[in-house]
Structure 1
Amino acid sequence: MTQIPHRRLALIDLGTNTFHLLIVEMPAVAGDKPLTLLRTKAGVRLGEGGISQGIIAPEAYARALHTLAGFKEEIELHEVKEIRATATSAMRVTRNGPDLVRDIFEQTGIQVDVIPGEREAELICAGVRQAVDLGADPSLIMDIGGGSVEFIVANHSTIFWKQSFEIGAQRLLDLFFPDPSGIFPAAAVEAEQEYLSSVLTPLVEAVHRYKPVSLVGASGSFDSLADMQLGRLRTESELPPCTELEVGSFQASHRHLLSGNHEQRLALPGILPMRADMLVVASVLIDFVLGISEITRIRTSAYALKEGLLAEMLAA
Structure 2
Amino acid sequence: MKIRKYAAIDIGSNAVRLLVNNVIEQEDKAASFKKSALIRVPVRLGEDSFTKGAISEENLQRLIKTMQSFDLLMQVYGVEKYMACATSALREAKNGKEVVEKVRNATGVGIEIIDGKQEASIIASTDLKELIKNDRSYLYVDVGGGSTEFTVFKQGELLASKSFKIGTLRILNNLVDEAVWNAVQQWITSQFNENNKVEIIGSGGNINKLHKMSGRKIGQPLSFIWLNAQYHFLNSMGYDDRISELGLNQDRADVIIPAAKIFLSASKWSGAKKIHVPKIGLADGMIKTLYYQ
Aligned equivalent of 2:264, options 274, 287, 309: 287
Compared with structure 1, are the counterparts of its residues 65 and 311 closer, same or farther at alpha carbon in structure 2 (3 Å cutoff)?
Answer: same
CA-CA distance at 1:297 after TM superposition: 0.8
- Judge conservation of contact 2:46–2:146 (CA < 8 Å) in 1: yes
> Are positions 1:105 and 2:104 aligned together?
yes
Q: Deviations over 1:162-200 (max 9, x none)?
A: 100111111111116xxxxxxxxxxxxxx9677512554
Q: Distance in 2 between matches of 1:208 and 1:193?
A: 24
Which amino acid letter does the alignment assign opposite residue 160 of structure 1?
L
5+ residue gaps, structure 1, are 177-190, 232-238
Q: Deviations over 1:227-280 (max 9, x none)?
A: 22129xxxxxxx95x452233321221111221221122245363321211111
* Equivalent in the alignment of 2:205: 220
* Equivalent in the alignment of 2:246: 269
Compared with structure 1, are the counterparts of its residues 62 and 222 closer, same or farther at alpha carbon in structure 2 (3 Å cutoff)?
Answer: same
CA-CA distance at 1:207 after TM superposition: 3.6
Q: How does 1:137-148 map to 2 (within 5 A)?
A: 137-148=136-147
Aligned equivalent of 1:230, options 201, 205, 215: 215
Q: How does 1:106-145 map to 2 (within 5 A)?
A: 106-127=105-126, 129=128, 133-136=131-134, 137-145=136-144
Which amino acid letter does the alignment assign opposite residue 13 of structure 2?
T
* Equivalent in the alignment of 2:148: 149
Q: TM-score with structure 2 length normalisation?
A: 0.87
Moved more, 282-291 or 48-57: 48-57
Q: Distance in 1 between matches of 2:230 and 2:280?
A: 23
Moved more, 202-211 or 275-284: 202-211
Which amino acid letter does the alignment assign opposite residue 273 of structure 2?
T
* Equivalent in the alignment of 1:298: 275
Give SS of 2:54's match.
coil
- Judge conservation of contact 1:129–1:156 (CA < 8 Å) in 2: no
Q: Distance in 1 between matches of 2:182 and 2:198?
A: 21
- Judge conservation of contact 2:243–2:253 (CA < 8 Å) in 1: yes
- Judge conservation of contact 1:19–1:43 (CA < 8 Å) in 2: yes
Superposition RMSD in Å: 2.7
Identity fraction in percent? 24
- Judge conservation of contact 1:230–1:270 (CA < 8 Å) in 2: no
* Equivalent in the alignment of 1:20: 17
- Judge conservation of contact 1:196–1:285 (CA < 8 Å) in 2: no
Compared with structure 1, are the counterparts of its residues 210 and 123 closer, same or farther at alpha carbon in structure 2 (3 Å cutoff)?
Answer: farther
Runs of 4 or more above 6 Å deviation: 191-194
Q: How does 1:168-247 map to 2 (within 5 A)?
A: 168-175=167-174, 196-198=181-183, 200-208=185-193, 211=196, 213-230=198-215, 240=218, 242-247=219-224
Aligned equivalent of 2:8, options 11, 27, 46: 11
- Judge conservation of contact 2:82–2:290 (CA < 8 Å) in 1: no
CA-CA distance at 1:218 after TM superposition: 0.6
Compared with structure 1, are the counterparts of its residues 102 and 246 closer, same or farther at alpha carbon in structure 2 (3 Å cutoff)?
Answer: same
- Judge conservation of contact 2:243–2:250 (CA < 8 Å) in 1: yes
Which amino acid letter does the alignment assign opposite residue 303 of structure 1?
I
Give SS of 1:298's match.
strand
Give SS of 1:175's match.
coil
Which amino acid letter does the alignment assign opposite residue 147 of structure 2?
S
- Judge conservation of contact 1:140–1:151 (CA < 8 Å) in 2: yes
Compared with structure 1, are the counterparts of its residues 245 and 35 closer, same or farther at alpha carbon in structure 2 (3 Å cutoff)?
Answer: closer
Q: Distance in 2 between matches of 1:8 and 1:287?
A: 37
